Structure 1
């Protein structure tokens, strides 16, 4: 070919090769593979978390009584005491008597009974209730009963018993030997049974049970706990009644079980209150691994860790606790799917621990761990 210089052709060819190579290199280094928006770390099978294995923790033997008639409750019992007095001084026995509010509202009277087993009767025997004389005389041997009206009974009361000096018998001492001193409330016609529940027992409470025997065909019986009805009907010969935290409104401290009737009285025998608790808090611990690459992603501001878990069934209500490497993630315990989030400071590259526990009991079949881009 005329007019074509071979050297020019070579240089054009080399320039073309260099251009193609540059284009390839620019494209290669400019390209970055897309970062995924959602990275699955692990799917975990969880199980039943919280308290399990119910057992009988407390038994209150209520015994026999008639609902709808006057009831008696012992406030104080002293098997034996001695009081004496001389010209040089006297011996006084003082007792503080507490009356819970749930008795005051249905109180009829208070009864003090005792037996004088021996005395020389040199001086008067004196008994005071809240500073007021309720007995003052030379008490004979034998049984004595004193009744105090409801209006003179308070939440906090003082009982005193002593005797006076022998007077002209200055060389002697007055002595009274007392046995079986009892201070009893008379109230009604509702039967009241107080029982205590601690804070720990509230957390582990599964149910209570009341069972008793009675004659069929008697009056209608109402049973309440803390004023909330757990039973209201004509009882059969044998009754067994379960209650839980929801229908009884149990709380820490004193709780009140009551039996009452609307018209006819009901004679009840072998009444027992039982409290059932769970005996162990099952902490389910599950491990999962975070790679170095994924840990670096979490350290970027636009990435977070996500935990999804499914509460299939609430066996016992309570507070569900989910922790990641010991940090509480503030879990939700209602049935269904729930989501929790975590940051890079909550985990480590490599093995991590996710734990499930709580004051109730839940069936949690599945949990999923992700890294997500916000």
Structure 2
């Protein structure tokens, strides 16, 4: 229920900031930007319907207008950047030479291994029940065994945006069918990976990625291929929505007497739109920063430093509720740290403007990096773990490695 309290109207700030790039994406007809900007704009609109009873752990009356401004100002440049991304005009003639073939084979083998390694655990979690699985995780139990085999299996799905880009490239360049199927399996492996913990991110992010990838390659796909892809995407969306519904009802359907309303409010709306409130709680309560250890553990491990030297209190809900990549970065280093790291990422993505339509493979790696950062970043900084750090590192290597290759 709408209130006249001043703290309620602070949430209009992200709506105003995000509206302009969203509107520009509509006017320009840029479907890629429309998806990215639309995700953030409608998330901010959804925040209008979150009230104190929906987030009982958050004190709305102490929300800061500065935090809403900070949240909006950090994100908005990345939304405007999406307007620079144009659909490919040509993507044929990409042959699998030794370097690219090696990369593709490694990814294909990793996709097959990851899928079949994790599928039994995903089935067990879903059979056991989404709510029960999350309860076990909350008690500190592990679903997947701790071993090098698990590390490898969960590492490859982190590259699902690379799998998406290469999958579409394999279609436009008519690569071997086994390669095409294996690359697609890499996308499905990401969904399976998240289902092992009864999560929903894998379904949501994979579908968003496939849609963005379709728009990115739309101009270079044949009519026959586009027709087949639409059928596949529609089938996946139908099955995905069914799976999302099952998990959401099981996890969030008991918050109120009305199961449907409970699921929609706590399992959908909070999931999609709580970000600025979680960031506010983080700023108000959090005062122990680990200076990047929680975001870049791989760097500290390579330096021989402990990534657990800063003990973090996980007792408060703000630590594990979604707050976007802004909240994840702030929680690690505060305001200045968030600005610096965000600026570094923006500089990396800016390389796209220097590469666009000149080097398809390099461009594709930059785009996959950006899409991973932004789509998962709506919820949290998904790259802030060892697998995510490895994804960033290998993306950097690929961007450098392919700088002078595959110019069309």
User: Which protein has greater RCO, CA pairs closer than 8 Å, 6+ apart?
Assistant: 1
Greater share of residues in strand: 1
TM-score (norm 2): 0.17
Greater share of residues in helix: 2
Bigger radius of gyration, 1 or 2? Answer: 1
